[in-house]
Structure 1
Amino acid sequence: MLTTILVANRGEIAARIIRTVHDMGLRAIAVYADQDIDSPAVALADEAYALGGSTIHDTYLNGDRIIEIAKQSGADAIHPGYGFLSEVPAFAEAVEHAGIAWIGPKGSTILQLGDKIGARRTALEAGVSPVPGTNDPVSSVSEVRDFAEKYGFPVVAKRSDGGGGRGIVVLRSAADIDEFEARHGGKGGDLGAYFLEKFIESARHVETQCMADAHGNFAVVSTRDCSVQRRNQKLIEEAPSPFMPHGAEETMVEWSKALFTHTDYVGLGTCEFLLDSDGSVYFLEVNPRLQVEHTVSEEVTGMDLVAEQLRIASGLELSEVPEIRGHSIELRITSEDPGADLVPTAGTITGLEWPAGHGIRIETGVRVGDYVSPDFDSMIAKLIVTGPDRDTAIARSVRALKELRIEGIATPKDMLADVLQHDDFAPDFRVGTRWMETAYLPNVDLPAPFTGGSPEASSERRSFVAEIDGRRHRVTLPAEFFAATSSVDTGLVRPQQPRRTSGRQVVAQSGEAAIMADGVMSAPIQSIVVRIAVEVGQAVVKGDVLLVLESMKMEKYVHAPSSGTISEIYVAQAQNIPAHTPLLKLEEEK
């Protein structure tokens, strides 16, 4: 059996994994970015080590540093959680080459399934039917037009390397194709990263939680429905999937087993499908990792899926899957503002009260006084509610959301409660993946944009966290020590993180970069520069795409506000930039 697990992640999923590691009597090692040195997940670990930086690429995507820490700490396994490095085949292979166990499917399996085009090809080889589409990248916009002519509108263009809802563009007309060409063709364009599918307008998103061991055993733990989505981001998930048409679940289970067998899959994974309104089932993709919504499958079976991952990685056989009992709903609590198009917000949590009672489970990585940074994912907690049947789980979820109190940041908790009580969701389940955009949001009065954010706050303690030689320690000192350095006579002088402005109000108003008086355009939010579409000296006209930024899984296109010439470019592709970073200078036409 493995003995020491390094958790290469942060926030609620890191805390969730560490708790299971301790339940099994094993040691947990945490790693952390500068912002996370005093986070709850890090505090739970037996040891914690600095990744040495504050950006995603310097920290949780720094595979070399993570492996170095694993060796330094004596870890014999690495658990990637989800996101970050969990679906990077080269990292999985590097971990194994370092003599460390990888908690997940091997790199060759991830390679077959992690890329969406590769997953389509793999599905066809395994006898599984994907949505009608292309199995090769787009080479020209004429291919997009030909595909739309053959299958009819709407069609969807997807980035092959997209994940978590990124890189999905629905094309409903020839004008949409023209705009797609303007945004993704030309210099620095990423047209060749996309493939095409017929867009299933009224589909539900249903998935199977699967697991397989090295002894040839395979099992589906449960189905889940994840149809309540906004911008292809899941908001509400439930298990088992309700109101399934005859034969649909059986098809999904059969196809899931075929996919796992064909790819020699060992570990946990999720097979995702589209369920059309006529009962047709189409393969979508395989997520070769733990899913955010794995909790609802645990609640209706009583299983600990992280424990199953550790068992499988230790060479043991799968545990027997109990019969499904009851119904469970997961609600994603994010730092996003419903009044500003669900734009992520930043700030300090000044008040926090979790719901309690029968059937309530909280997975979180925050506490009162914590600063929610714009640098990482906006999900701060998961509220999982279970009842003996779906109606009870819904009623209990609404009650739990009313009890939940989070102050200092915006969250969609009230909107989630409203969705749960909507006629389309509760009694009949007439919800598809586009329901939020097409049926719900156009007919609901959303609150005004959130303006109540606040900077970091300190809390009173007699200890503090320090980093010594790259390793995290909690140091306790007499109160008199603090009196000499602070106006507070007792309590913790809590390490303060640099204050930062989020630029969220700029995003809420325009979604574009700000223009300064001297023609310099600046970033409205902390983001990654994913594309620079112009070069110095290039003439542009009003509306041209200049740059593409990505923040919190959303792409923001920076357009020319007027005609002119690009005189300077201040950023580089793949650069992680804070809010208000100068992007480029536009000399406007006189």
Structure 2
Amino acid sequence: MITKILVCNRSEIALRVIRTAAEMGIETVAVYSDSDRDSQFVEQASEAYALGGQSYAETYMNIEKLISVAQRCGADAVHPGYGFLSEIPEFAEAVAAAGLVWIGPNSTVLTRLGDKIQARRLAESVDVQPVRGISDPVRDRETIEEFIATYGFPIVTKKADGGGGRGITIIESAADLDLFFAAHGDDLGGYFVERFIQTARHIETQCARDFHGNFAIISTRDCSVQRRNQKLIEEAPAPELPGDSEETLVAWSRRLFDEVGYEGLGTCEFLVEPDGRVNFLEVNPRLQVEHTVSEEITGMDLVREQIVIAGGGVLTDVPAPRAHSFEFRLTCEDPTNGLIPSTGTITRLRWPLGHGVRIESGISEGDTVTAGFDPMLAKIIVTAPNRDLAIARSRRALAELALDGVATPAAMYSDVISMAEFAGHAPSTRWFEDSILPGIASTEAEAGESAQAASLHGANGSLLSAGCPEELTTFVVEIDKKRVELAVPRSLFGGGGQHSRPRAQQPLRGGIRPRTESSTGELVDPHGMVNSQIQAIVVRVCVEDGQSVNRGDLLVVLESMKMESYVHAPYDGVVSELVVTAGQNVAAYQPLVRVLDTTARVSAPAAAEKEN
């Protein structure tokens, strides 16, 4: 019997596990970083222990600290949630060695499935067809060029240990290949290559298997609305699967789980092409973010199933799907600014309610969102008897959401699900990013700029001091019995007159920034500091202090949203300062590397002397 669970995670997924455990009469123990001290998941657990520190390495990925807490509090089981240590075999081994129950597949299974090259080989051994590629680590450029000569561009390079699509690089030309090798040098042992399928849907099966060999597909899911291989909108069941692809998905999933003796819940992921061809991608040996839609259409509690299976129990019989469900990932990302992560304090929060609406959240009004952790704030799950009704209900729910202080893509999601192309299903994994996002981002940016322009002008049309628009206060009034919201300058009340100085605020997103974009697309300040455009992890610093660089040379490799991004030299110059190191987390607009411009050779005094 499991009686006390240490939840080795944070925010909404930690809260999700804590709630189910409470319903089962099981005590829970939360662990937290310094910034999470007052979070809801910490308050709701039976007990909570500080890990001390802010970074991943200090807190949620510190195996020694986590095992120490488990032993100190008397936990008899560990739930890793998703992300962090959930797929790390060494952690599962440490849990078992400490005499605790690991709620998930064992370390051997994690090793065989967590490494994507081993997973490809496993799939091939049981006649499951992976995406066409090389099932060996890439050692040199010649191997990749031979693959391209056979299959052509585009291709995709992936990290063998890149869970959930992390570390993906799409290569569409010889120039892209040059850049890839410039970024990684000879360190290629952890990469493999696949054909990049441009027109396919991302379909997955939510699977479960217990210690007694009972196996079930709880539901299929369609996760094709993606940006940079990051899922944005998921739905269950997957609609309108072509040909006999669903039968193939079920059969292949069972083969994979049976072959490794899988015990627990997991997800098999595939690309399904329009003609019904199925291509295996990977197995995620943990709970998925989007598990909620499978729960909604079956009525099952998948966290409960995880705990039951880990305790040696029997998998529950799976009911037939009874509805259609969507999940919208509510992230702190700004559609008006290229969907880069945003930060700030949540000044107003009102969740949508009503029939068929479920909220999974770890945030509250007043919380400050920082760049330190994952940008996902919450999930809005909407369920109805069929897909059309679920779309209509989703539009209503998204419109009810009120979240101020941090930018989110909620309004953008409403636009996406209202499009004709979405009516049957999302056409492919590239549809949103290639065809939809550019138009939506442009429209929302224009709307944001118009709103900003209006707020920056006073009654006489004169521009207020740049970056310091006067603070507004909002009242609800009735005009001819019609309820309207009226926003007026705060200086009109509380003793402030028309000559009162407006309270300084941060510039609005999309407004003037202290950094400008160079001709290479990099953000550079007047002193030559090249700044990150995104919240990311530094994968590699490609230059040294004092090194001469040419415009376009690679400076830093970043990883964000599971994709690598490259930061280039904005002009010919000399590296005069390295601000970051590999493995470091950086926020959007954070300094990376200073490059002194050697093209500006003539100083102002010299120019004046020349004129004289």
TM bin, normalised by shorter chain, reads 0.7 to 0.9
> How many angstroms does 1:508 deviate by?
10
Cα pair 1:352 1:368 within 8 Å, conserved: yes
Cα pair 1:338 1:446 within 8 Å, conserved: no
User: Does 2:135 align with 1:135?
Assistant: yes
Q: Which residue, 312, 317, 320 being the options, matches 1:315?
A: 312
Cα pair 1:328 1:384 within 8 Å, conserved: yes
DSSP 3-state at the match of 1:424: helix
> Kindly tell me: are residues 288 and 559 of structure 1, through their superposed partners in 2, closer, same or farther at Cα, counting changes over 3 Å?
same
> How many angstroms does 1:525 deviate by?
5.6
DSSP 3-state at the match of 2:391: helix
CA distance in 1, matches of 2:553, 2:564: 16
CA distance in 2, matches of 1:166, 1:124: 22
Q: Which has the larger radius of gyration?
A: 2
> Kindly tell me: are residues 351 and 33 of structure 1, through their superposed partners in 2, closer, same or farther at Cα, counting changes over 3 Å?
same
> Kindly tell me: are residues 587 and 66 of structure 1, through their superposed partners in 2, closer, same or farther at Cα, counting changes over 3 Å?
same
1:435 corresponds to: 431
DSSP 3-state at the match of 2:328: strand
> Kindly tell me: are residues 338 and 23 of structure 1, through their superposed partners in 2, closer, same or farther at Cα, counting changes over 3 Å?
same
> Kindly tell me: are residues 27 and 107 of structure 1, through their superposed partners in 2, closer, same or farther at Cα, counting changes over 3 Å?
same
Q: Deviations over 1:80-101 (max 9, x none)?
A: 1000110111111111111111
Aligned pair count?
541
1:391 corresponds to: 388
Please identify, of 219-228 and 173-182, the stretch whose mean Cα deviation from structure 2 is larger. Answer: 173-182
User: Does 2:522 align with 1:512?
Assistant: yes
User: Does 2:568 align with 1:559?
Assistant: yes
CA distance in 1, matches of 2:37, 2:517: 34
Unaligned runs of 5+ in 2: 456-466, 469-505, 602-612
Q: Deviations over 1:415-466 (max 9, x none)?
A: 101111111112x325210001222124444312698999xxxxxxxxxxxx
1:465 corresponds to: none
Map 1:494-509 → 2, pairs under 5 A = none
CA distance in 2, matches of 1:160, 1:266: 23
> How many angstroms does 1:221 deviate by?
0.5
CA distance in 1, matches of 2:343, 2:529: 25
CA distance in 2, matches of 1:303, 1:157: 37
Q: Which residue, 545, 559, 572 being the options, matches 1:550?
A: 559
TM-score when normalising by structure 2:
0.84
Please identify, of 215-224 and 502-511, the stretch whose mean Cα deviation from structure 2 is larger. Answer: 502-511
1:363 corresponds to: 360
Q: Given residue 197 of structure 1, which amino acid in structure 2 is its aligned partner?
A: E
Q: Deviations over 1:157-177 (max 9, x none)?
A: 222222333222222222322
> How many angstroms does 1:113 deviate by?
0.7
1:327 corresponds to: 324
2:78 corresponds to: 78
DSSP 3-state at the match of 1:546: strand
CA distance in 1, matches of 2:359, 2:589: 35
> How many angstroms does 1:146 deviate by?
1.7
Map 1:63-462 → 2, pairs under 5 A = 63-185=63-185, 190-426=187-423, 428-444=424-440, 445-448=442-445
CA distance in 2, matches of 1:408, 1:73: 37
Percent sequence identity is 56
> How many angstroms does 1:66 deviate by?
0.9
> Kindly tell me: are residues 205 and 552 of structure 1, through their superposed partners in 2, closer, same or farther at Cα, counting changes over 3 Å?
closer
> Kindly tell me: are residues 584 and 246 of structure 1, through their superposed partners in 2, closer, same or farther at Cα, counting changes over 3 Å?
closer
> Kindly tell me: are residues 168 and 525 of structure 1, through their superposed partners in 2, closer, same or farther at Cα, counting changes over 3 Å?
closer
> Kindly tell me: are residues 379 and 540 of structure 1, through their superposed partners in 2, closer, same or farther at Cα, counting changes over 3 Å?
same
DSSP 3-state at the match of 1:328: strand
1:529 corresponds to: 538
> Kindly tell me: are residues 122 and 566 of structure 1, through their superposed partners in 2, closer, same or farther at Cα, counting changes over 3 Å?
same
**CA RMSD after TM alignment:** 2.5
CA distance in 1, matches of 2:290, 2:153: 32
DSSP 3-state at the match of 2:48: strand
Q: Deviations over 1:371-402 (max 9, x none)?
A: 11111111111111111111111111111111
> How many angstroms does 1:77 deviate by?
0.8
CA distance in 1, matches of 2:514, 2:5: 42
User: Does 2:43 align with 1:43?
Assistant: yes
CA distance in 2, matches of 1:350, 1:581: 24
